[in-house]
Homo-oligomer: A and B are copies of this chain.
Amino acid sequence: MGPQLNVAVVGATGAVGREFLRLFELRKFPVGTLRLLASARSAGKTQKFGDRQVVVEELTASSFNGIDVAFFSAGASRSREFVPAALKAGAWVIDNSSAFRMDADVPLVIPEVNLDAVKPGQRLIANPNCSAMILLVAVNPLRKLGKISRLIVSTYQSASGGGAAMMEELESQTQTVLNGLPADPKVLPHQYAFNVFSHNTKVNEHGYNEEEWKVIEESRKILSMPDLPINVTCIRVPVLRAHSETVTVEFEGAAPSEEAVREAMRAAPGVRLVDDRAANHFPMPIEASGQDDVLVGRIRRDVSHPSAISMFISGDQLLKGAALNAVQIAEQLVIPAMATARS
């Protein structure tokens, strides 16, 4: 048996935080001490972890003494404030926020794609944006089949991307609307029940919102293709917890055949092919929810381009889009490093 790790979860009471605890149990992550950290408002609550009842503590700069690995999922400003303290205390940090993702000296990692981006001595690893992550798990297997020259993406993003409060708003507001009453949105700027809208983040000078710009910049960094042309439109849909995306991939040379793409998807880690034309069964967020794999289907040649393929994908935003990827990074980097350090 390997070493036990002292683990901190920052943002332990959020939608992603709860997934961390579930995944630690499910995957038998070697949790020694478990410190659950949140805002003062949540301090004193208890959360169950296996046989333990763990009391949530207020996040402070001294929260990380004795911690081996800290998972941050409490937003970019919390990360900017407290990640330095965690690193100073000697912990590895896996940060699910956008705070450090584009820093040149912080690796941005999807284990299936670019684990080799982590250099010796680096102990802060950034966990990518959920839409970029789900996209790249499905796009990466295509790199063996040709040189990708452009990505064109439209997203169908779920409530979980906005956390537990947004999921709750979708459910309660949908009931309100079904009762014939006005939607009365609070978390989001627009009615969410039976509606879709452009992702509610600031639009930059190029006309792209923050979510879209993250997909563009982070995808380029993760793929080590700093100039890869990417077109993306991010749209919220009234779905609870998995993101879906239409994806067109243009190639520099000839496009791979549909069957070559299917074969690559069957062989790809983290991907499940769901592409049954006869049964009209393709990726759906309700089937991706709770699943580790990104579902990939509707694979076909793009009839509008000499060398492109199109597909439709769904992936659980809270799992591969957030908590699962962070835990996989810890499993594949931190556990082996700790074992070496202690041997």
Contact = CB atoms under 8 A, between A and B. Distances in A.
A288 B240 CA distance: 24
Q: Is the interface of A mostly helix, strand, loop or mixed?
A: mixed
B203 A277 contact: yes
A342 to B, nearest CB: 46
Given A154-B154, A237-B237, A280 B189 contact: yes
A331 to B, nearest CB: 31
A53 interface: no
Interface in A291-338: 297-305, 308, 310, 312
A114 interface: no
A208 B303 contact: yes
Interface in A267-299: 277, 280, 282, 284-286, 297-299
Contact of A152 (B201, B207, B304): B304
A174 interface: yes
A233 interface: yes
A233 B312 contact: yes
A304 B198 contact: no
Stoichiometry, as copies per complex, reads: 2
A286 B194 contact: yes
B207 A299 contact: yes
Contact of A195 (B150, B190, B284, B305): B284
A305 B305 CA distance: 14
Contacts of A308: 231
A23 interface: no
A176 to B, nearest CB: 11
B235 A196 contact: no
A244 B150 contact: no
B246 A194 contact: no
A15 interface: no
A238 B237 contact: yes
A202 to B, nearest CB: 8
A250 to B, nearest CB: 9
A84 interface: no
A132 to B, nearest CB: 15
B198 A282 contact: yes
A200 B233 contact: no
Contacts of A206: 300-301, 303
Contacts of A285: 194-196
Nearest to A204: B277
Given A178-B178, A230-B304, A282 B156 contact: no
Nearest to A297: B198
Contacts of A239: 194-196, 238
A69 interface: no
25 contacts: A152-B231, A154-B246, A156-B235, A171-B178, A174-B178, A190-B286, A194-B238, A194-B286, A195-B285, A196-B237, A196-B244, A196-B285, A198-B297, A201-B280, A206-B303, A207-B258, A207-B277, A207-B301, A209-B280, A229-B303, A229-B305, A231-B302, A233-B310, A235-B246, A238-B239
